[in-house]
Amino acid sequence: MNLEQAYAYLEDLKGRGFILGLDNIKNLMTALGRPDRSLKFIHVAGTNGKGSVCTYLASILGASGYRTGLYTSPSIFRFSERFRIGGEEIDDEQIAELLTQIRGAAEAEDIPITAFEAETALAVLYFHEMGCEFAVMEVGLGGTLDATNFIESPLISVITRIDLDHTDFLGTTLEEIASQKAGIIKKGAPVVSYFQKPEVAAVLEETARAMESDLRYLDPDSVIIKDSSAKGHVFDFEPYQDLRIRLAGSYQPYNASLAVLVIEKLQDLGIEISSDCVLQGLYEAEIEGRFQVLHENPLFIVDGAHNAQGVEGLVETIENLFGDQKLIFIFGTLRDKDFEKSIELTLPHSKFYITTRPDSDRALSSIDLKNRIIHHGGTAIAIGSMHAAIGLALRKAQPEDVILCFGSLYQVGEVLRYFQRHKEQQNMNREQENSLKPDQIIAELSALNIGSILIGEPLKNHTTFKIGGPCVAMVLPEDYEQAAEALRYLRDREVLHMVMGNGSNLLIKDSGYPGVIVKLGENLSKVRFEGTRIIAQAGAQLTKTSKAAIERSLEGMEFSSGIPGNIGGAITMNAGAYGGEIKDIVESVKVIDPNGQIVDILAEDMNFRYRNSRVQDEGLIVLEATFALKEGVPEQIQAKYQELSEARNSKQPLEYPSAGSIFKRPPGYFAGKLIDDAGLRGYRYKNAMVSEKHCGFIVAVGPSSYEEVSHVIEHVQQVVQEKFGVSLETEVRIIGE
């Protein structure tokens, strides 16, 4: 399976829902050859703090030189973040390869696994194959019947704070929930626990006695907090002085101290971990979405608090840091959370609320949440999308205000993406401010031997969407050296610039681009053949290159027929369709590196993965690619080409200008199907329209503009968010002021 097929497989498994019991995951581990037996497990359960404690532990073990795997849930920013080694996420190719193994093993043995069981197996198999010594595993739900509880003999079981949560699955009393969490306690394995309420402690102690396990609690009085701010804490925890952490929640010194207790237990077991590594690991630990400051003046903070106990800790942090100051809250929540309690806790600290809907089918609507806040005596505004909610909060806030977004882990990723885009825009603005004046740029470019120069060229003439205002200048180099020279000049003079091919994945604003375009198009579009190899320049169209190969009875490139774009873009994005990808046929790539030098890179060094490559990682500029094909049977090649062409023509609106598929595929969904199910097929604003053939495309059915297309994009995003709670991100590059 490729990555897209792997995600589709997980989505199919989600349809099975929850299957209680551990037989399937244990049978799957056996079918995979018991990869778990090479790992030493630290198993962490609880209601709140699991992710933080797991992160501290993995960071300390990593600082100590141990190769350590970290498995957490749910995804906040992207699926891959749940599987980390040394802070690095699993890459897309490994996800696809390992899920292929898991699917094969499950189907061969007829094991009806769920999505979470497949994901847990993915973590274990990944850690095993990457040679990890330790695996820090966070329980997904509960403990006793959670898929992670296949672990038979953990080094240590860890219990974080326990409170009421997931009462529809785990029980309605603290005792019932504690009993589920205590299910990770195993025969003879030591247990380290957060300080608990008496009824919870009684359950843990009874279970520990029955399993002959040593149980040790964190003593809260032994944690001496010396300094706190929105950027972290300094605290003592015997025998350590001045421990520093960068996670700001008021509960974080206690989570960190719990992790230190676990480390002490590991030291008792003979595992060497120095005091310096404890200090280093705690300080280096980072978690996205845990009281994370993203903006100043006004201060904007995002926190993943999503249940009553988490919000209690959040309110404690607010009181410690901001006293009586009233905050602007952005609040979204799931229907199965105790949101009434969250409202009661935060209301005394609120200036007003902006309610949103998280990206989950379990989400409470923003309007229903607004009405509940008003019922409690608060002031609230309902906004469908997180993007709009953040914009509204920033517009309404004064520089001294504090904006705090909380309520669901599912919305943290949206917030982080918003501020990442904001940061990129600020960087672009700074580049523009520091750049040379247009007349001076044009004069200096004209003095160089770098090919033709077009002044004030309308970019609508150079994009497949036929949309876009003018650029300052467009450089059309005639060979590789001219391209490299142009880019060296633009870089050295800090001139705002970008490289484009045939503009197939761009949406350029009507105001145009306030910099220089280096176009690797018609002048660098030659294709030549050397036996069964194709050497294609960056500006060559992918479809024409594929057809040329087919006409010579060369096999392997048929899948790319009809994919819009050129060779440079195909290499950059690892273009693919119908089961094939560019990485399957590339032999080497010639690029301009960030220093302006022309270098050749072998395919195995290109770090190809799902719709990504080393080109994007390092800012390389593709000049040409060499493809290794093989001789085939002409009739078979033509038949396959015809089949794929007909399939593409029937499903894609190739008769209209477009930028290809507009939206990224959200995890677990197909963007086009969501748009169709939302009733938006054929939705039109002036001359911009959601395609009736493929709802992932927005097409221009007549002379159109950025304003028209962006209107359709925003309308689609808003309706899909409101109907399904899913945020659609654009995958086309939007260029211009």
Among all residues, which ones are annotated catalytic?
611, 661, 731
Q: Given the DSSP bridges, would you call strands 621-628 and 327-331 parallel, antiparallel or unpaired?
A: unpaired
Other C-beta atoms lying within 10 Å of the C-beta of residue 175:
12
Q: State yes or no: cis peptide before 564, omega within 30 of 0.
A: no
DSSP 239-304: TEEEEEES--STTHHHHHHHHHHHHHHHHHTT----HHHHHHHHHH---TTSSEEEETTTEEEE--
CB proximity list for 551: less than 8 A, separation 6 or greater: none
- State how far the Cα of 392 lies from the Cα of 350, in Å rounded to an integer: 16
Q: State the pairing for strand pair 533-537/527-530.
A: antiparallel
What the block records as the tokens of 352 is 């007003």
Using CA atoms, how far apart are residues 522 and 462, in angstroms rounded to an integer?
Answer: 11
E strands, 359-488, in order: 380-382, 402-406, 452-455, 471-476
Query: H or E segment at 61?
Result: helix 50-63
For 660, which DSSP code?
Answer: E
Distance CA 674, CA 693 (A): 14
Q: Cα-Cα-Cα-Cα dihedral of 617, 619, 621, 622, to 10°?
A: 0
CA dihedral over 259, 333, 149, 667, signed as positive or negative: negative
Residue 491's CB is within 10 A of a number of other CB atoms, namely 13
Count of residues in the chain: 737
Tell me phi and psi for residue 683, to 5 degrees. Answer: -60, 135
What are the two backbone dihedrals, phi and then psi, of residue 548, each rounded to the nearest 5 degrees? -60, -40
Token pair of 280 as six digits: 């280093």
State how far the Cα of 697 lies from the Cα of 564, in Å rounded to an integer. 13
SS (H, E, C) 614-632: HHHHHCCEEEEEEEECEEC
The DSSP secondary structure of 479-510, one letter per residue, reads SHHHHHHHHHHHHHTT--EEEESS-TTEEE-T
Question: Which H, E and C letters describe 170-209, residue by residue?
Answer: HCCCHHHHHHHHHHHCCCCCCEEECCCCHHHHHHHHHHHH
List the beta strands (DSSP E) in 386-495.
402-406, 452-455, 471-476
Question: Residues near 567 by Cβ (< 8 Å), separated by ≥ 6?
Answer: 501, 536, 537, 538, 539, 540, 541, 542, 545, 622, 624, 625
Could you tell me where the beta strands, DSSP code E, fall in 31-122? 40-45, 68-71, 83-85, 88-89
The beta strand positions in 579-676, using DSSP E, are 580-581, 586-592, 598-602, 621-628, 630-631, 658-661
SS3 annotation, 213-257: CCEEECCHHHEEEEEEECCEEEEEECCEEEEEECCCCCCHHHHHH
